[in-house]
Structure 1
Amino acid sequence: MRNIIIGGFAALVLASCAEEKKPKDGLDISGSIKGFKKGTLYIQRLNDSSKLVPIDTLKFNGQSDFSTHIDLKEPEMLYLFLDRGVTNSIDNNLPFFAEPGSMTIQTSLDYFTADATIKGSKNQDLYNEYRLMMSRLINKNLDLIQARLIAINEKNTSRIDSIQKEQDDNLKRRYLTTTNFVVNHGDYEIAPYITLAEIPDVTLKYLDTIDKSISPKIAKTKYGKKFKAFVAERKKMGQ
């Protein structure tokens, strides 16, 4: 009986030690890049000067899979930058909303950003949802730009004015849609991030609405603090 007790106590001690060695904060990230066999993958973040700086470097030499651990204390937008070596492409930088815990990213060399499937982050899921909504408005604006160029070439003044009104309405929908999305997700870090990244020039009226929707918890995060400082500065300038 005594040996059983001692054995059980030892197991608890070992489990406790293992728990102490396990990082309290951080991100375990793994995945694969189909077709990528030779080159370097950088995990980057924006520094205080808004420049991308590497926080981890992964070398590929015959394998397509990768895994690493990153010191990450709170959700943050990070970037996978692919160095293809001899060949290069504009499709090299993949943003993803990282969260402490475990995440997987599956993609391909040929369509690095378009093929990306990212799992393990609620903020990333919401970011995908937002981008899908915005894609419709972006496509609409591209169609209007093309129509405007044709109208200008034809010197059709009335058509140009009509298209300008449509573009203005489309821009208003973008602001309103983004504001509604942010207000509905004020409990997530994606809310202040999207506001700062997508609609920094929105009116103070909308900013006030967004500000009231940001939860106290999110207000204390990296993007929450930046958003609060931004709102204070905008109000100080009266814009």
Structure 2
Amino acid sequence: MKKILGAMAVCLLLLSCQKEKPKGNLHLTGNIEGLKKGTLYITRLGDSSFVSVDTIKIDGDSHFESWLDIKSPEMYYIVLDRGKTNSIDDRLPFFAEAGKMNIETTLEQFYAQAKITGSKNQQLLDDYKKVNDRFTSQNLDITELLLRKQHAKVAVNADSIARVQDYVLKRKYLYAAQFALNNKDHEIAPYIVLSEINENATVVLLDRIRKALTPKVANSYYGKKLTQYYNERKKAEQQ
């Protein structure tokens, strides 16, 4: 009897020591250097507002961990509540997908210093931003030149400036469209179309990109949204 009770006690001890198996297909880890106390909210954009999918308390240790259930690769956001310290730099977007991802950043430059690894879509998004930032810089340079000339009371040909700005914007949109076509086998493709081109794309271009997507991407979260957006635009033009 004592042996049976002893065996039962050992079994109960083992069961109590076992940790509940994490649920989710994305294992997200990270570190926010310099953060001693605060709260992290992992969110995604729902139908009309942001929805929280996990809450992580930081108290002493700046490392964090989360298991998320990702049905389709999608843009998620880490929102940092610093407590008493207010900052506009409190939202960090990342392209979540199943597997293992890691986010390394700092408290002082939460968004600017972020290094995100483990997601192919995130890697492609980073590559896209590097080129896209050049178009943004060119447009800012043109605006700055215009303001300087106006301040110096130098005659400015507004039409010429507008044509140059329009040319830069067209190059920006064409690059986004070509990027989507070149990466038609990744969910980043429909996301770029929806977030960067949208109403500036013709229905013909939307249809071309939509048809170029691989079946897997076409059936993804953003792939379905692109098809929905295309159908709405096509219907509106036919009216």
Contact 2:22/2:67 (8 A) holds in 1: no
RMSD (Å) for aligned C-alpha atoms: 1.5
Pairwise CA distance, 1:35: 0.1
Give the aligned residue type for 1:236.
K
**TM-score normalized with structure 1 length:** 0.86
CA distance in 2, matches of 1:174, 1:212: 22
The alignment covers a number of residue pairs equal to 216
Which residue of structure 1 aligns with residue 86 of structure 2? Answer: 88
Segments of structure 1 that go 5 or more residues without pairing to the other structure are 1-20
Contact 2:42/2:53 (8 A) holds in 1: yes
Which residue of structure 2 aligns with residue 227 of structure 1? Answer: 226
- Secondary structure of the residue that 1:238 maps to in structure 2? helix
Give the aligned residue type for 1:182.
A
CA distance in 1, matches of 2:224, 2:98: 19
CA distance in 2, matches of 1:167, 1:212: 31
Give the aligned residue type for 1:104.
N
CA distance in 2, matches of 1:146, 1:22: 52
CA distance in 1, matches of 2:22, 2:80: 29
CA distance in 2, matches of 1:188, 1:207: 16
Which residue of structure 2 aligns with residue 237 of structure 1? Answer: 236
CA distance in 1, matches of 2:39, 2:46: 21
Percent identity over the alignment?
48
Pairwise CA distance, 1:130: 0.6
Pairwise CA distance, 1:148: 2.3
Instruction: Write the deviation string for residues 61-95 of structure 1: whole angstroms up to 9, x where unpaired.
Output: 11110111112122110001011111111111010
Pairwise CA distance, 1:147: 1.8
Give the aligned residue type for 2:31.
S
**Which of 145, 160, 177 matches 1:147?**
145
Contact 1:147/1:163 (8 A) holds in 2: no
Which residue of structure 1 aligns with residue 52 of structure 2? Answer: 54
- Secondary structure of the residue that 1:200 maps to in structure 2? helix
Pairwise CA distance, 1:22: 7.0
**Which of 103, 111, 128 matches 1:105?**
103
Instruction: Write the deviation string for residues 145-201 of structure 1: whole angstroms up to 9, x where unpaired.
Output: 22222344436242x222111100001001110000000001111111111111101
Q: Residue 65 in 1 paired to residue 63 in 2? A: yes
CA distance in 2, matches of 1:227, 1:56: 27
- Secondary structure of the residue that 2:109 maps to in structure 1? coil
- Secondary structure of the residue that 2:41 maps to in structure 1? strand
- Secondary structure of the residue that 2:80 maps to in structure 1? strand
1:1-239 aligned at under 5 Å gives the runs 23=23, 26-49=25-48, 51-153=49-151, 154=153, 156-158=155-157, 160-201=158-199, 202-238=201-237
Contact 1:82/1:92 (8 A) holds in 2: yes
CA distance in 2, matches of 1:92, 1:142: 25
